[in-house]
Chain A
């Protein structure tokens, strides 16, 4: 792999673009810090001054209310000044526009950009072109990565299972188009999960996915055998209407998670989903709302984990600068 642009020379996290290439220690530190941020959400005054005087811009080129909101809340709890910009990009000269937008905002002394875009690699592109005091957090780039989502998933797993190195984890659904799945796979690998499975029809599994260190299954029942964690993925509407799968009905019939199918998994298996869920398409309501579902916990944890990542970028980097002095 080429030199990782998300680390500075001292090996500190400068940007948060992808989990690929990060150390186990970094992931554990993020989760440990998130633990302490959880309690802030439970206080009457839910604010700490870690990012006081700092400006964070949520730059979302793709629609998202949920993710943007959790980033906004996370930043505000750290006392940052938050600006939200949602703008659909025009289809010509997009790259130029992105960098122009960034430069303009940079000139207004922004410290952190949270970027979401429907192209893979956008946050990498931006990270390559910002000055060293600016930090980029990838809030989802195309099909490539959604590292904060994967971190909150790992954090949620850790709250329930204490040893990653003994887990069997299945990721189910549209792996091909999923940035969440790719980041989850990296995270699970880094945390030494020995058995990672991806389950879906061949049209939704990318070629050579096994080179990422996972095992492919085309049948849900077989893939779910004895697993401890089931990570469901959202099936986008446009996939249902295209030629990747015949219909939502058939998809649910083959890959939808139902109570009966859950029997295949370990007795204490837990269910996760990045949301928003398509009830009756990838997951039955009784399962989504059932006692084994961690879906709402994931949302709550999303704030603490994102606070932890923001704090880490700012403090690790400030520390390393001061050390140099």
Chain B
């Protein structure tokens, strides 16, 4: 089985390539291709006026399986991922039960393999049951396929446990995923402490909840020499802190969710529960600082922080509604919107979704070198689509971007040389 993609604009940030050329995939791998007449081509994809880039790598997406299948399953969410051009998904350890044993990690990979589309890479738990007390069998988790270890949204309160966890993880060269949010300062808060919390009288998550925890994690990264990745930032001040840490040579990377780059506390309006997320949407100044951090390279990657919910999870008073946004299918478009708004160049935007996350995870993906996996996303950059939450492939219709028009339509998603998603096929089946 081979595949020729013709006349597309190839953007491969890892190799510094941005040019129109053909791309040939044979037996799942990218191969050099000089003279097309001498080979039998099984399938040709005309990518004229389209962009061809590595398949997207999402550093944080909840698929809800196992444990919360009433919200979503691998089947629904992986279908959503490929429709959004995402070919690699990192699954945080807070599944039910959590990914704190090799068996759980293997099970997750196996479930994804059965479906045979996007790869799902488990992030293992840093502590058993995510309880923040006892370390997990980290070496075994790594061998079972965990690409990093973290404690998801469950804070590790004890600084001793956190220090030991980082030390032990660094023994095996495991990257530690960190969600800096001080549990006491967060309390039962649900929105940024600012104008909107004051007007609506909602319990707050002050900026310090993030900056205090971040300072602690960075100090421990420095003390232990561990490799740390900050899964999500929400405050401008955190960007400055990360920048300073990087300057001092700490091994730290950071990501931001696509929605934090577009929304602010103002979007909550009159208790719009679709904008209830953790960390919370902060001020417009914070949003702009996150954008700057991304363009300057302080923030390395953009993730979806996909959190699908059943339809009634948001039908509650704001503070009692479930936090999270369904984000797989809007990740690429929200990132391209940043290109439209002159925040990022197109290659930088694509790097934030492909080569940079691959580097954070230390995986051989996210580039289009000869010999690499033929895993691609082919999209129409200037074509716009109107988000219709009810028509998303994800089981989660919980998106504040419903009815918004965004740039970037995924035309094909190719995984290991096979078509995993084609918009034409999709239209035939779903009659779009």
A173 → chain B closest CB, angstroms: 15
Closest residue to B283 on the A side, CB-wise?
A: A208
- How many chain A residues touch B (CB < 8 A): the figure is 31
A206 and B197 alpha carbons, distance in the complex (Å): 8
- How many chain B residues touch A (CB < 8 A): the figure is 23
- Which stretch (A79-87, A94-102, A105-113) binds chain B? A94-102
Complex interface: chain A residues within 8 A of B201 (CB)? 120, 141-145, 179, 182
A96 touches B200 (CB 8 A): no
B269 touches A122 (CB 8 A): no
Closest residue to B271 on the A side, CB-wise?
A: A121
Encoded as 1 (CB less than 8 Å from any B CB) or 0, chain A from 1 to 22 comes to 1101100000000000000100
Complex interface: chain B residues within 8 A of A122 (CB)? 317
A129 and B311 alpha carbons, distance in the complex (Å): 14
A95 touches B321 (CB 8 A): yes
A24 → chain B closest CB, angstroms: 20
Encoded as 1 (CB less than 8 Å from any A CB) or 0, chain B from 222 to 237 comes to 0000000000000000
The answer to whether the Cβ of A28 comes within 8 Å of any Cβ in the partner chain is no
B317 touches A96 (CB 8 A): no
Encoded as 1 (CB less than 8 Å from any A CB) or 0, chain B from 255 to 277 comes to 00000000000000111100000
A99 and B316 alpha carbons, distance in the complex (Å): 8
Closest residue to A17 on the B side, CB-wise?
A: B270
Closest residue to A181 on the B side, CB-wise?
A: B201
Encoded as 1 (CB less than 8 Å from any B CB) or 0, chain A from 24 to 39 comes to 0000000000000000
Partner of B198, one of A119, A145, A207: A207
Q: Which of B195, B200, B317 has the most CB of A within 10 A?
A: B317
Add 8 more A-B contacts to A2-B270, A121-B271, A145-B201 (CB < 8 A): A2-B269, A96-B315, A96-B316, A120-B201, A141-B317, A142-B202, A143-B202, A143-B203
A124 touches B320 (CB 8 A): no
Partner of B202, one of A120, A207, A208: A120
Report 27 cross-chain contacts, Cβ distance below 8 Å, ordered by A residue. A1-B269, A1-B270, A95-B312, A95-B321, A119-B317, A119-B319, A120-B200, A120-B202, A121-B270, A121-B271, A121-B317, A121-B319, A125-B271, A125-B315, A125-B317, A141-B201, A142-B317, A143-B202, A143-B203, A144-B200, A145-B201, A179-B201, A182-B199, A207-B193, A208-B195, A211-B198, A212-B199
Closest residue to B194 on the A side, CB-wise?
A: A208
B194 touches A94 (CB 8 A): no
Partner of A121, one of B194, B195, B198, B318: B318
Closest residue to A127 on the B side, CB-wise?
A: B270
Closest residue to B322 on the A side, CB-wise?
A: A95
The answer to whether the Cβ of A282 comes within 8 Å of any Cβ in the partner chain is no
Complex interface: chain B residues within 8 A of A130 (CB)? none
A98 touches B193 (CB 8 A): no
A94 → chain B closest CB, angstroms: 5
Closest residue to A143 on the B side, CB-wise?
A: B201
A212 touches B315 (CB 8 A): no
Complex interface: chain A residues within 8 A of B315 (CB)? 95-96, 99, 125, 129
A212 and B200 alpha carbons, distance in the complex (Å): 11
Encoded as 1 (CB less than 8 Å from any B CB) or 0, chain A from 260 to 279 comes to 00000000000000000000
Complex interface: chain B residues within 8 A of A48 (CB)? none
The answer to whether the Cβ of A209 comes within 8 Å of any Cβ in the partner chain is yes
Partner of B320, one of A5, A95, A179, A182: A95
Complex interface: chain B residues within 8 A of A182 (CB)? 199, 201
The answer to whether the Cβ of A117 comes within 8 Å of any Cβ in the partner chain is yes
Sorted nearest first, the 10 A-B pairs with minimum C-beta distance are A95-B316, A143-B201, A119-B317, A121-B271, A144-B201, A206-B198, A2-B269, A120-B201, A122-B317, A121-B318
Complex interface: chain B residues within 8 A of A5 (CB)? 270
Closest residue to B206 on the A side, CB-wise?
A: A207
Q: Which of A20, A119, A142, A212 has the most CB of B within 10 A?
A: A119
